[in-house]
Homo-oligomer: A and B are copies of this chain.
Amino acid sequence: MRVLFLGDIVGQPGRKYAAEVLRELLPQVQPDLVIANAENATKGRGLTFNSADELYDAGIEILTMGNHTWDQRQIFDFIDDDERIVRPANYPAGTPGRGYTICKVGQAEVLIVNVMGRTFLSQLDCPFDTVDRILAEHSEIRHVIVDMHAEVTSEKLGMGWAFAGRVSAVLGTHTHVPTADAMILPGGTAYLTDVGMVGPRDGILGMKRDQVLRRMRTQLPTKFEVADGPRQFCAAVLELDDVTGRATSIEQIFCHESLG
């Protein structure tokens, strides 16, 4: 089974570029499942119904989220009904939406989990206990992909090692910068600290860099808007054994428009 996973898609430039790149990439890569982190898909903050629809049209089948899940209030209107959207599973019981979803890929069921780190992020339940619990409830599923949305490398590596040999992949999101540490952990778990971003290349995390720099230098509140200009695409391709669910390879795909 081949899985394509796109890092945080940022704003309209990210959505458009994801669609453009996928148009060429899907026939080449021929993934069995396409997942993307969509927490920034609408204006850099959150996800509207229309943005989700645009991503589905581009060929993405599952959308994971993160700390920006709730930034577009419209999400509360459709997150309960759309089983393709997965928000961090370690929000407290009763939170709208779902923390994992199961989809059929050929004969196999694939469990996709989204979970959030706590260091310098939200005050949520323990992400390790949360994944333990979900795995226990679905011990019959062999193909499990965890999107670990976290700020610090230690917590992401911790998730990778804690579930090495127990899940097919732990892929990090949130920092918008791809890391160069893709590896297969013992037991067949693909690991990558951060997949990176699909969005404007020359902003800062996809936002206009003058605005971000102004805030950093002045500490004054500053409006952040999605940047213009050339765009980049960051993704990972996983090969999972159809029977055991073990990862046999992880590769990164990068492309970007020229700086103009």
Contacts and interface: CB of A to CB of B under 8 A. Distances in A.
Interface string A181-222: 100001000000110100000001100010011001111110
Given A92-B126, A177-B181, A216 B155 contact: yes
A27 interface: no
A123 B204 contact: no
Given A70-B220, A175-B153, A213 B92 contact: no
Contacts of A259: 186
A95 interface: yes
A74 to B, nearest CB: 13
A157 B172 CA distance: 19
Interface string A133-163: 0000000000000000001111101100110
A118 interface: yes
Given A123-B119, A161-B213, A254-B180, A129 B175 contact: no
Nearest to A132: B217
B218 A94 contact: yes
How many monomers of this protein are in the complex?
A: 4
Contacts of A176: 153
A180 B153 contact: no
Nearest to A152: B151
A5 interface: no
A154 B212 contact: yes
Contacts of A122: 219
7 contacts: A92-B217, A123-B123, A128-B216, A151-B151, A154-B216, A157-B209, A161-B209
Given A155-B216, A177-B181, 18 more contacts: A70-B221, A71-B221, A91-B218, A91-B219, A92-B218, A123-B219, A128-B213, A128-B217, A153-B175, A153-B176, A153-B177, A158-B209, A161-B209, A161-B213, A177-B179, A179-B180, A179-B194, A180-B252
Interface of A: 70-71, 91-92, 94-95, 118-120, 122-126, 128-129, 151-155, 157-158, 161-162, 175-181, 186, 193-194, 196, 204-205, 209, 212-213, 216-221, 252, 254, 259
